[in-house]
Amino acid sequence: MASVRIELDQQLPLSKQPNKGHNRWHPDIPPIQVVKSGDVVVMDTLDAFDCQIVPGTQASDLTRVDLGRVHPLTGPIYVEGAEPGDILAVDVLNIEAPSFAYTVNIPGFGFLRDSMKEPFIVHWNIQNNTATSPDLPKVRIQGNPFMGVMGTSPSLELLRIINEREEKLKMQGGAVELPSEHGAVPTGHLANVAVRTIAPHETGGNVDIKQLTKGTTVYLPVYVNGALFSAGDAHFAQGDNECCGTAIEMAATLTVRLRVLKGEASRTGQKDISFSRETPHTSGTSGHCLSPLHGSFYATTGICVDRETGVNYSENLTVATKNALWNMINYIHHKYGFSILQAYCLCSVAVDFHVSQLPDIPNVLVSAILPLDIFE
C-alpha cells in the first residue's frame, strides 16, 4: 500500500493547469496518475465553478459566469487491475475545507429555475467546522464536507448510449446539457462527444449525495480498464437535494483509498453507485436508529433511466425511485440470502428513500437507505 499526492493550485483555473484534470467524461482522457488497488490518494480539488467565484464576487457578477467550465475534476486516476464488471470501492478518509465558500443562485439553473430568476450569492466564512455569512445573518451551518462529484469513466459504448438518449430528450424538449467544446477541458475532438458533468450517470458523477462524508465507502461500477476515477465539486454542507443548484461550494483536499472488488458488479448486477458506512454497535441498545444516517447503513441509488429499456425519463422521480428500490432489493437478496419477495417486504418496512439531488438535468437521483442495525 502506498500514498500518492496530487497537488493543484486552488486559485488557478483548470485550463491553466495542464494534465491535472478534466470537466467532461470520456474514456480516452489520459490518466494523470496510476495507482495500485489499496493505495491512498491525497488530491487537491477546485471549486465547482473553476475559480470564477471569489470573496469579492457580487450577485451582479454571476450573469457573466461561464457554465461551460463547471465541475473541474481532479483525475482521471488509473487503478491497476480494475476491469469492466468490477466495483471500485472508494474509502473516503478525509476532506479538508478552506476558509472561504459560497452558495449562488444562477438564473436558468436549479430546481425552481422557472421562478427564481434573480442572481444571488452567499459568501461563507468557515471556522471551527462551522459556516457563517453576513448574507444570512444569525445562521450557523455545521460542517459535513463531501464531494459532489465522484465517478469512473463510461466506456465508449456507454458514452454512445448516454449521448443518444440525451439527444433524444433534447429533441423532445427536455432540459439537457449536450456535449460542447465551450469551456471544455481537455479541448479538441473529444469535447464534441464527451459527456457533460452536470448530471449523474451509471458511473456516478455529479451525485451530490450529502452522506458521502469521511468514513463512507462509495462503490462505483467499473466500465473501462483502470476504472479512471475522478472527483471534484466539494461541498462543506448541503440540504438533501441541493434545490438551488449549489451547496456551500468550496475547493478541498480529498483523501481516499481506492480498492478493486473483482467481479462484484457482474455478480450482484449493480448498475449504479452505492455507498455505506460502518460504525461500532453501541452495547445495550436495541432496535434501529430513527435516522439511519446516524448509525451504520447501506444505500443504493437510482437515476431516471428505465433499467429494462434504457429510455431516459427526464427529471422523473418515480423512475429514479424504482431504480433505487430494485438496486436495494438485489443487494439484500445477494447479501442476506432473502428471496426477492422477502427483500421487497423488508424494503417496505425498513428502507428510507431520500431525494439526493434534483437540479442536475436530466437525471434526478434518489437514494434508498437501509439501517444495518436491524440485523443481528
- Output the average pLDDT for the chain: 92
Q: What DSSP character marks residue 137?
A: T
CB neighbour list of residue 259: distance below 8 Å, 6 or more residues apart: 37, 38, 88, 89, 90, 91
The structure's pTM equals 0.85
Distance of CA 283 to the CA centre of its chain: 34
Please, which pLDDT band fits residue 291 given cuts at 50, 70 and 90? very low
Q: Rounded distance, CA 38 to CA 41, Å? A: 10
Going from the C-alpha of 268 to that of each of 35, 87, 328, 330, 331, the distances in angstroms are 26, 10, 11, 7, 7
Residue 112 has pLDDT above 90, yes or no: no
Residue 146 has pLDDT above 80, yes or no: yes
Taking phi first (over 0 means left), then psi (-120 to 50 degrees means alpha), and beta for anything else, what does residue 38 get?
Answer: left
Greater confidence (214 vs 348) lies with 214
Please, which pLDDT band fits residue 281 given cuts at 50, 70 and 90? very low
Please, which pLDDT band fits residue 350 given cuts at 50, 70 and 90? confident
Of 76, 25, 69, 78, the C-alpha closest to 46 is 69
DSSP letter string over 67-101? GGG---EEEEEEETT--TT-EEEEEEEEEE--SEE
Mean predicted confidence (pLDDT) in 11-33: 97
Q: How many residues does the chain have?
A: 376
**% residues pLDDT > 70 (the chain):** 95
- For the chain, domains (ranges, CATH) are 3-374 (2.60.120.580)
Of 156, 171, 101, the C-alpha closest to 129 is 101
The pLDDT tens digits for 53-106 are 999 999 999 999 999 999 999 999 999 999 999 999 999 999 999 999 999 999
The pLDDT tens digits for 301-320 are 999 999 889 999 999 998 99
Indicate the SS3 state at residue 369: strand
**% residues pLDDT > 90 (the chain):** 75
Residue 286 has pLDDT above 90, yes or no: no
Query: In this predicted structure, what is the pLDDT of residue 287?
Result: 37
Query: In this predicted structure, what is the pLDDT of residue 160?
Result: 98
The pLDDT tens digits for 158-203 are 999 999 999 999 999 998 999 999 999 999 999 999 999 999 999 9
Residue 285 has pLDDT above 50, yes or no: no
Give CA angle at 192 (186, 196), nearest 5°. 70
Query: In this predicted structure, what is the pLDDT of residue 294?
Result: 61
Q: Which residue has the cell 445562521?
A: 139
CA dihedral 264, 270, 275, 280 (to 10 degrees): -50
Mean predicted confidence (pLDDT) in 242-263: 95
